[in-house]
Copies of this chain bind each other. A is one copy, B any other.
């Protein structure tokens, strides 16, 4: 067996020498290098911003969604959406462990794992698309994938249905970062609060705040906002279009008497929401962009354009202990569990 780079550089084909995430194309041949793990893939969880774009391109037709996914993987060797730049993650069974990892790894062939690195860097082969779930972005396939030596993963336990774990783990970076950011007494706004990451962020923010501070949930549509009301974690639920910066700003101003948010967390899956976050945040406040539909330039130049002195953070998918924290949040709150079960379970 050949030994590759810890970070998977040996798989980058175009251009060579870069890491597999920024590479345009990676080598997805399925012979295992000595420090790689081969996975039999069951289900892909396509990143929400990416899946939304693919649905649009496919005119919401299931078969065409599958064809676009096949095309992306054929072209790039990985499910790296060229429009949004984002990936997603997967679950499957360990098929083979490279010889250099066999002693060190906690894994055994047959274990069921979820990868915690993006599909945008994961060598992947889709042999067959079995089922596309348009509502959840989860796609059952027959296929194979490679995990690099540095690649994070979570072993799945039996106490939670698979599809729920998959949904939670896809966005597990968000609540863990929220835990680090939210201070008691703050005013916190969450955009896209009814989505996967939004719900986890909202719940974690409430935990950090306790009874001090104000929590503002923003999403659109009566159904979602009604449920957010009933969940009761937010002090205010605002039904407003996150792509309308003035409407969002005014709605946040109204419930804060013009004081605005100390921290705004963006969990929306559509583009064009940077200014809504910036304008809803206090001077010297913080915006946390978890959304993969965020444009770096729009955020950097937008804040300058309106003279807003805000700290803006790029939402990394990773921080220590993120997977356990997110799963625990769902386990410990029956209402949160119920929502995830209804949406993704079964």
Residues in chain A within 8 A of chain B (CB atoms): 7, 9, 17-22, 84-87, 116-118, 120-121, 150-152, 173, 243-246, 272, 274-275, 289, 292, 294-320
Q: Is the CB of A318 within 8 A of B314?
A: no
**A173-B306 Cα distance, complex, nearest whole Å:** 14
> Which residue of chain B is the closest to A8 with respect to CB atoms?
B305
A275 nearest CB neighbor, chain B only: B19
A86 and B307 contact, CB distance less than 8 A: no
CA distance A21 to B245 in the complex (A): 12
With a CB–CB cut-off of 8 A, which chain B residues contact A295?
A: 22, 85, 296
The SS class assigned to the A binding surface is loop
Interchain CA distance A75-B121 in the complex, whole Å: 36
Tell me the number of copies of this protein. Answer: 2
Q: Is the CB of A85 within 8 A of B296?
A: yes
- Asked if B317 and A304 make an inter-chain contact with CB atoms under 8 angstroms apart, the answer reads yes
Name the B residues within 8 Å of A310 (CB-CB).
316
Knowing A152-B307, A306-B150, the reply to whether A314 touches B299 (Cβ < 8 A) is: yes
Whether A245 lies near B297 (C-beta < 8 A) is no
Q: Is the CB of B244 within 8 A of A17?
A: yes
Q: Which residues does chain B contribute within 8 Å of A17, judged by CB atoms?
A: 244, 246
C-alpha gap A245/B246 in the complex (Å): 41
Min CB–CB distance A309 → chain B (angstroms): 5
Contact check, A309 vs B318: say whether CB atoms are below 8 A apart.
yes
Given the complex, which residues of B lie within 8 Å of A312, measured CB to CB?
313-314, 316
**Chain B neighbourhood of A306, CB < 8 A:** 7, 19, 150
| Beyond A117-B304, A150-B305, A312-B313, 16 extra complex contacts between A and B, CB < 8 Å | A19-B275, A20-B305, A22-B274, A22-B295, A85-B295, A85-B301, A86-B301, A150-B307, A173-B304, A289-B296, A300-B317, A304-B316, A304-B318, A308-B318, A309-B318, A311-B313
Instruction: State the CA gap A20–B304 with chains docked (Å).
Output: 12
Q: How far in angstroms is the closest Cβ of chain B from A194?
A: 22
> By the criterion CB–CB under 8 Å, are A21 and B317 in contact?
no
Contacting pair B19 A245 (CB below 8 A): yes
Give me the 5 closest cross-chain CB pairs, A-B, nearest first. Answer: A85-B297, A304-B317, A312-B314, A304-B318, A118-B301
9 A–B contacts, CB within 8 A, in A order: A7-B305, A18-B243, A19-B302, A19-B306, A20-B305, A85-B301, A295-B296, A308-B318, A309-B316
Say whether, besides A22-B272, A272-B18, A275-B19, A300 and B292 are in contact (CB < 8 Å).
yes
- Set B87, B246, B304, B320: member contacting A118, Cβ < 8 A: B304
